[in-house]
């Protein structure tokens, strides 16, 4: 049954939004539970499809998962499996994050090779080359990455051509159990990488340089689960997405439980566009500040403007007075949302890696298809500001990374509802259940 979101645009919004725990922090943290047997506890974890996929993968490897009130408990004492099957990897590329911990703890791992995805080919060569530098032997067979390190891993110097987030995370997790010292140059500095490093430190790892592009990891023989429950850091991409609302529709909102320090660049750019944003501890207030001004921006690794907010700010800039320019530097296909925005009346031209957005345009409601997670959020923002009704299909993407989006928006006054497409009862040989 196909679900879709039905949104009637034009309603002003006001109120508070509680920011959920970060998807891109909880995924590596769950993978890190494979590094040492025992009981791990997490709070402020987000109820997301991707979290469920990672928990299913840990379960497949032999871990036990339980929810006790607000605490998510993972017990990896009985983990013995070393395979991440294609069925799970195809659903979530971040499954590759179990590779480093498995080969570090068990000396072996068999992980399905992730394919491309709607935003790009997404290679994992940095992950594999880094593991080879640490002494692992890697072969690719029948679509699987076979990794062996019978004598264990040993420290090495690793240099990334690009500060890859999950490659940094994977290799940090491998290096904490390697013999000797590992250095990672041109490492990613995202807050989610720092969060993982702090978890590993709480497990007994010795890591220097967290938050910089140069990490030094002194390997230990063994680690143990953090002594206390870990609270997942707030999701800066979810927060940044909602911060854009006052640029699209009359809205006065307050984000609760946000970490403004992780959003410095997006907040600066939104202020430049004309939004009034005030930070008050872990609360961020946002409202419109008059005419929206166009922007020239380019996505970059942290602390630059995040690629994961590129689609969302494009929706916002359709309302700006004049020409805006967005250059996407991380992923070669991350403009799929342009085609759907055009169907809503947006005036956007794409030339290679740069999109030119002419505004202001009053978007019209339409039936649109979300192609990836952040494109889904972009279309929700566009629909909230459009004239009339928008139906957004492809909700499996949205549910991967936004906890209860329609509930959070409805609480602000949005007209948004999740519906099911009820096709005709039956149509000849192709009725439901015919598999036609
Ligand atoms: C992480 O993906 C995030 N996912 C992505 O968020 C995010 O867009 C991306 O970082 C950039 O910030 C998770 O953390 C689970 P990269 P990742 O490796 O690690 C090239 C979302 O919407 N590269 O930093 O896969 C790659 O092609 C998702 O939440 C290699 O060439 O991204 C890209 O051009 C989407 N070889 C660049 O690095 C490699 O081995 C950045 O990719 C790895 C990466």
Angle between helices 99-106 and 165-175 (to 10 degrees): 10
What is the pLDDT tens value at each position of the chain, 436 positions in all?
Answer: 589 999 999 999 999 999 999 999 999 999 999 999 999 999 999 999 999 999 999 999 999 999 999 999 999 999 997 899 999 999 999 999 999 999 999 999 999 998 878 888 889 999 999 999 999 999 999 999 999 999 999 999 999 999 999 999 999 999 999 999 999 999 999 999 999 999 999 999 999 999 999 999 999 999 999 999 999 999 999 999 999 999 999 999 999 999 999 999 999 999 999 999 999 999 999 999 999 999 999 999 999 999 999 999 999 999 999 999 999 999 999 999 999 999 999 999 999 999 999 999 999 999 999 999 999 999 999 999 999 999 999 999 999 999 999 999 999 999 999 999 877 777 778 766 665 4
Report the alpha-carbon distance of residue 103 to residue 117 in Å, rounded: 25
- What residue's CA is closest to ligand 1, atom 24? 164
Token pair in block for residue 127: 């992950």
pTM check: above 0.85: yes
**Pocket-testing residue among 93, 116, 165, ligand 1, by greatest number of atoms within 8 A of Cβ:** 165
* Distance from Cα 377 to the centre of ligand 1, integer Å: 18
Site residues for ligand 1, CB cut-off 6 Å: 23-24, 27, 94, 120, 122-127, 162, 164-167, 307-308, 330-331, 373-374, 401
Q: Mind telling me the catalytic residues?
A: 117
Q: Do 2-20+234-421 and 23-218 have matching folds?
A: yes
Distance CA 218, CA 379 (A): 45
pLDDT at position 12 is: 96
Every domain of the chain and the residues it spans: 2-20+234-421, 23-218
23-218, which class in CATH?
Answer: alpha beta
Q: How far is it, in rounded angstroms, from Cα 271 to Cα 251?
A: 15
State the closest ligand 1 atom to the C-alpha of 125, by its place in the atom list counted from 1: 40
Q: Are 60 and 85 in contact (CB under 8 A)?
A: yes
CATH fourth-level superfamily of 2-20+234-421: Enolpyruvate transferase domain (3.65.10.10)
pLDDT at 386: 98
How far, in Å, CA of 382 to CA of 337, rounded? 11
Separation between Cα atoms, residue 33 and residue 342, nearest integer Å: 44
For the CA of 163, the nearest atom of ligand 1: 24
Ligand 1 nearest atom to the CA of residue 94, by list position: 15
Q: Is residue 110 within 8 Å of 144, Cβ to Cβ?
A: yes
φ, ψ of residue 89 to 5 degrees: the values are -65, -40
pLDDT confidence of residue 434 = 62
CA of 157 to the centre of ligand 1 (A): 21
Taking CA atoms only, the protein residue closest to ligand 1 atom 22 is: 308
Rounded CA-CA distance 360/357 in Å is 9
Give the whole-angstrom CA distance, residue 381 versus residue 392: 11
């Amino acid at each position: 049954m196909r679900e879709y979101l039905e949104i009637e645009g034009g309603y002003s919004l006001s109120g508070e939004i509680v920011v959920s725990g970060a998807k891109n922090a909880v995924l590596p943290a769950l993978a890190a539970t494979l590094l040492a047997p025992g009981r791990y506890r997490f709070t402020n974890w987000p109820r997301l499809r991707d979290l469920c996929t990672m928990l299913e993968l840990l379960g497949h490897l032999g871990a036990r998962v339980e929810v006790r009130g607000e605490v998510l408990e993972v017990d990896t004492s009985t983990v013995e499996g070393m395979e991440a099957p294609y069925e799970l990897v195809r659903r979530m590329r971040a499954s590759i994050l179990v590779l480093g911990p498995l080969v570090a703890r068990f000396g072996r791992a068999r992980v399905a090779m992730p394919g491309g995805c709607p935003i790009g080919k997404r290679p994992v060569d940095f992950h594999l080359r880094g593991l080879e530098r640490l002494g692992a032997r890697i072969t690719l067979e029948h679509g699987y990455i076979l990794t062996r390190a019978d004598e264990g891993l040993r420290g090495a110097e690793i240099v990334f051509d690009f500060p890859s987030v999950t490659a940094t995370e994977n290799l940090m997790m491998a290096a904490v159990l390697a013999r000797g010292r590992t250095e990672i140059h041109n490492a990613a500095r995202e807050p989610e990488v720092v969060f993982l490093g702090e978890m590993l430190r709480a497990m007994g790892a010795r890591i220097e340089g967290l938050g910089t592009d140069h990490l030094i990891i002194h390997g230990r023989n063994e680690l143990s689960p953090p002594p206390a429950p870990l609270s997942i850091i707030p999701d800066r991409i979810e927060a940044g997405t909602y911060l854009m609302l006052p640029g699209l529709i009359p809205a006065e909102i307050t984000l609760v439980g946000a970490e403004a320090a992780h959003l410095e660049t997006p907040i600066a750019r939104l202020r430049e566009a004309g939004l009034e944003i005030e930070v008050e501890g872990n609360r961020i207030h946002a409202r419109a500040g008059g005419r929206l001004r166009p922007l020239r921006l380019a996505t970059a690794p942290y602390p630059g403007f995040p690629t994961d907010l590129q689609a969302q700010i494009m929706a916002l800039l359709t309302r700006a007075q004049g020409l805006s320019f967005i250059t996407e530097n991380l992923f070669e296909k991350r403009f799929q949302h342009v085609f759907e925005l055009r169907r809503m009346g947006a005036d956007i031209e794409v030339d290679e890696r740069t999109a030119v957005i002419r505004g202001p345009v009053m978007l019209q409601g339409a039936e649109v298809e979300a192609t990836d997670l952040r494109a889904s959020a972009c279309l929700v923002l566009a629909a909230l500001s459009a004239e009339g009704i928008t139906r957004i299909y492809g909700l499996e993407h949205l549910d991967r990374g936004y906890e209860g989006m329609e509930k959070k928006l409805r609480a602000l006054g949005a007209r948004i509802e999740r519906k099911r497409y009820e096709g005709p009862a039956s149509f000849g040989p192709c009725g439901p259940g015919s598999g036609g």
